Structure 1
Amino acid sequence: MGNCEILSSGDKIKLIRKKYGLRQDDIVGEEVTRNLISQIEHNKAKLTRSTAEIIIKNLNEIAKKNDFSIDVTADYLLEDEESQANSILEDYVDNLKNLLVYKEDTFFAELKKAEEFLIHWDIREKKIEIYELAGDYFYIQNDLEKSVLYYEKAFDLLDKTSYSKALLSILRKLSLMYLNSLKYDRCIECCNFALNHFKDMPEDYVKIFMYNSALCYYYMKYYEKALEIIDKLEPLVKNNTSKLIDVLNNKACCFDSLNKLDKAANVYLNVLELLENIDADSSKHLLILSNAIDIYIKLNERSNVVKYFNMLLNKLPNVDQNSLYLSSAYFYLYKAFKYFNNLNEAEEYLIKSLEFSKKNKQYPFQERAISNLADLYISSNNFERLEDINDEAIFLSNINKKPCTSIFYKLLKFFNKNNKPNNIDNILNFLIKFKQ
């Protein structure tokens, strides 16, 4: 970052004189009085363009006589303090954009400098840009809490009464962050605000807000409400195979949760046909095949479980190994192996699901894996592994700032049944301290 000092016109003239060893009399010439220069330098009089041009003309004449050059202009002398602050903040914005993908602390250090500068120069438009970039950075770093914080700061500064690309951009990002951080009420509120206030927004944004809203209703277990939105959304995405697959998957999940398993299976058959028209190595295959396996396990249609289980296993080596769908793929392979009564392989894939979700901070999937591992080890009376599960549940509770209650209840029930007072005390002590 270059010079961040803000100078008045008088300060600039004073510094130029000192740089070249000049007196006030030297730069005034016959057109300007020394008294006026003195007042400008003491910030008691405003520099006009005509005066600035006279000063530059006189400086150039002095430079020519004394065989040196000057690199200042009348525009430089006239640039006011707010314009300088804007230029400095534009440099901060450019630097932050360039540092966005770096994992080191360079972005964070630059952000802190920008925020310190903004304390003295409260320029709203630049604040919004900087806060949005900060939200983007923390999203990339998977720090959802800080990402939400900065997007909310940007949102608070925006004009909410009129349509703007900046406002829609922040609303879209906020809805995604609320969704990912399990703040479903906030996400729905955000989506409804956008959908109700901006009737003429681009259709792509309409689809995004409707889709995020439907997902939230699904996660909140308002399945009929989710289906109501999906029915309106489906015609809007019918010409985009990839988005249609996402919408239909959500629809099938709603039917599944409503125990309308045949309807869910029919939707998945439709989706699997659509999948044939997109990249064979697409990560979406993992999600759809995983969910199809789950439905057919519930329907107890072994032949279909085997069919989609084999398809999923064959897909695994060819997809992006960083795909976030892998935690679900591993989990439903666990369920399939368990369905086939192959408990060793089941445990192996459940552990893979846990490790992957931990690595990628997928907390709901992490809790799901821990809970199912607890069931496995309870059924096999594996006390040693259950102590590990207890540690995993404590670790996750601390990260989420919310206790994994259902897991602890399972462990308490098991340890009580097997007369393990020390284990029970450890869990209760943790829960008591956590509540405090």
Structure 2
Amino acid sequence: MEILSPGQKIRKIRKELKINQKEITGGEITRELISIIENDKSTLTPTVAHIIADNINRICKERNIDFNLDTEYLLEDINAQTNKIASRYIDFLCNNEDNISKDFTKDIEEIELFLIKYDVPEKKMIIYEKIGDILKKQKVFNRSYIYYIKAFENHNRLFNDIRLFNLLQKLGGICIYLGKDKEALDFNNLALVYNNTIPEDLRYKVLYNNTLAYMHLNEHDKSLLEIEHIENTFKTLTKENILELNVLKVNCLRYKKFYSDALNVNKSMLSTLSNDDTESIILITANILDIYTVLKDMSNIKIYIDKLIYIISNYSKAKESYPCPNAYNQLGISTKLIGNIELSIECYKKSIQLAKSQRNRRVLLKSLDQLLTILIEENNLEEINTFKNEVLELISLNIIDPSITPVLKLMKFYSDIGSQENLSSLLNFILECKKD
């Protein structure tokens, strides 16, 4: 990709066609003017561009050179060319954003180099946001976050503009995925400050993400206040909106230890669901199992373990199902409580595999930590070594960070049992990954 000023184009064409400056004047302009234009010390006017193009075309015809120069091409300056190329990049990203199996690495590198070299302020935000969208669809959430940040840094003073609100909403959402809950609140609240008239569906997404962030931060009263605000403010909440708000409300009640209220709301929701709404049934059944597990109600724990396993086992879309990784995590906790260690380990492994596939970092970290705890308690060295290899793969894929608790716990275990070989291999692998 070569971007040239009008003067640079003239010089390049002359050199390639072996035409001197005097020949392209045609006696109508001076050679000195050509020289000034070629050195970018004077702007090329349409009149002069027309004269130069006509003379070059005439010379090519006389010399039987197959070449034709267009005046418009000569007049197109660097800004026009860079904007045209930037538009092509935007079109490319838009046309391919649903191709989640495509490797965009080289395309993104090319676009990045272009944006570093040329300033296209009107299009930078759009390009970076589109890259962020693609990476989010590919579940590469950490890189998606980086490009959304770049888009925000290049928002070009779009205050009180729906485009900025939409970007801030995406940033808040991606922060939730990455466990950056305080940062999510910052972006969400910034969006609400800068935008007064925005579509209700976008405002709902921001406020809903606030309730999620508060819940993850264990600020359950604030989360409940946000839910109440949404319920009282929004005129047209969908059935899905009402369900997800009630699920959040139930989780807050559970963590505030209002177990009876949480159970009643869960069972009420479950009774209203249609039989084909398997995703919601899995989610709510797992929440009920969680409450019975906290209460150590062994009879109901066994009933709901069987129910949940049956539902998931007969669900053809379990691998892609958002609630399934957490449901398996809950099964791991509950089956351990009733003493079925073998089944607990199996459930944690399934949770890890699904969370890994979906890049569900929150559930992945929980399940890794809880599985390792069981394996250490059982002193199952063979399984622990297999666990270590799984962790190393997750680190190499940038799905988890080497500093997470399960990795540190694994190091301590190898140190405690004097397994220098395993400890060294773990540390060396992490150091090699850091170099990359």
8 Å contact from structure 1 (residues 289, 309) kept in 2: no
- 1:230 is displaced (CA, Å) by 0.9
1:18-417 superposed matches below 5 A: 18-62=15-59, 70-98=67-95, 100=97, 101=99, 103=101, 105=103, 107-160=104-157, 162-235=159-232, 236=234, 239-276=237-274, 280=276, 282-298=278-294, 300=297, 302=299, 306=303, 309-310=306-307, 313-320=310-317, 321-338=319-336, 342-374=340-372, 376-377=374-375, 382=380, 385=383, 399-404=400-405, 408=409
**How many percent identity over aligned positions?**
28
Distance 1:36 1:395, change over 3 A: closer
Partners of 2:211 and 2:270 in 1: CA distance: 21
Q: d(CA) in 2 for partners of 1:361 and 1:265? A: 30
Seen in structure 2, the aligned counterparts of structure 1 residues 160 and 210 have a Cα distance that, compared at 3 Å, is farther
The answer to whether the Cα contact below 8 Å between 1:393 and 1:408 also exists between their aligned partners in 2 is no
SS in 1 for 2:159: coil
Following superposition, the deviation at residue 360 of structure 1 comes to: 3.9
For residues 386-420 of structure 1, the C-alpha deviation after alignment (integer angstroms, 9 at most, x for no partner) is: 676678779879943434179949x87xx99xxx6
When the two chains are superposed, the root-mean-square deviation of aligned CA atoms in Å is: 3.9
Q: One-letter code of the match for 1:404?
A: T
CA distance in 1 between partners of 2:311 and 2:76 (Å): 65
Q: CA deviation at 1:121?
A: 1.5
Out of 361-370 and 181-190, give the one that drifted further.
361-370
CA contact (8 A) 1:289 1:312 kept: no
Quote the Cα distance in structure 2 between the aligned partners of 1:217 and 1:31. Answer: 74
**Deviation of residue 168 (structure 1)?**
2.0
**TM-fit CA distance, 1:13:** 2.3
CA contact (8 A) 1:309 1:336 kept: no
Residue identity opposite 1:168 in structure 2? F
Q: Which residues of structure 2 form unaligned runs of 5+?
A: 431-436
Whether contact under 8 Å (1:297, 1:305) holds in the other structure is: no
Find the aligned partners of 1:76 and 1:265 in 2 and give their Cα distance. Answer: 71
Report the 3-state secondary structure (helix = DSSP H, G, I; strand = E; otherwise coil) of the residue aligned with 2:197: coil
Contact 1:11/1:41 (CA < 8 Å) preserved in 2? yes
Distance in 1 between residues matched to 2:388 and 2:372, nearest whole Å = 9
Segments of 5+ residues of structure 1 without an aligned counterpart are: none
Cα offset, 1:208, TM superposition: 0.9
* Cα separation, 2, equivalents of 1:335 and 1:382: 18
Amino acid at match of 2:288: A
User: What TM-score do you get using the length of structure 1 for normalisation?
Assistant: 0.81
Q: Which amino acid aligns with 1:326?
A: C
Deviates more, 1:341-350 or 1:319-328: 341-350
Distance 2:90 2:152 in 1: 18
Aligned-partner residue type, residue 367 of structure 1: L
Q: CA, structure 1 residues 406+49, in 2 after alignment: closer, same or farther (shift >3 Å)?
A: closer
TM-score by length of 2: 0.81
Match of 1:189, SS? helix
Asked whether the equivalents of residues 296 and 305 of structure 1 are also in contact (C-alpha less than 8 Å), the reply is: no
Contact between 1:292 and 1:308, CA under 8 Å: does it hold in 2?
no
Aligned counterparts of 1:406 and 1:55: Cα–Cα separation in 2: 69
